[in-house]
Amino acid sequence: MDLILREREMPSLNLIDNVGFLLVDTTFLVALMCKTDPTYLLALAVSNQSKKRSVPLFYTEETKHEMWSLISGSKSEMQGLVVGGDPKVIRSQFVNDFNRLKKEKWPEYYADLCNWEKIVEVFWNIQLFPYDCSIDEGTYNYVKVTLPLLDQLKRSEDRSGSHILRKLLGMSNK
């Protein structure tokens, strides 16, 4: 929370100058869609900084699927609450946001949720990642085994480990 309050005091980081794009996840999208979400201001700040720096924001097919599942679950939860469920037991951030805002009826709120892809594109220029980033099982298993080994070698101060790491990464043998 302190970071959000001191957002304007934070020094400018050059890291974003080297970023070509950002992939956002379901949590980020939900935070932007729900003004009552505790991380709404942080997600908004990231979105605004990315826009200011011309860093495009994208979500993946998996995130898209997760959002639709959450929206579907929110609809089911609201139907249960209307029929006689316990309003103290709310699991969906969307339902929680709707109950806190009380500005519109559920059908209108739900209609907005169903247009989430258009809303995040229009308001925050967040789009579906245009490239296929699916990973086959062989590649996944290779990365799963190799990445921890590379991390372990990187941490090692051993000269032979450093030599192996440079070789694995294709660096020159200086």
Residues in the chain: 174
Based on the domain organization, do 42 and 113 belong to the same domain? yes
Domain with 114 in it: 18-128
Based on the domain organization, do 145 and 99 belong to the same domain? no
Domain count, the chain: 2
| pLDDT tops 90 at residue 142 | no
pTM of the complete model: 0.65
| pLDDT tops 50 at residue 174 | no
Based on the domain organization, do 78 and 98 belong to the same domain? yes
User: Average pLDDT of the chain?
Assistant: 80
Based on the domain organization, do 151 and 117 belong to the same domain? no
**CA atoms of 50 and 59, how far apart (whole Å):** 14
**CA atoms of 79 and 82, how far apart (whole Å):** 5
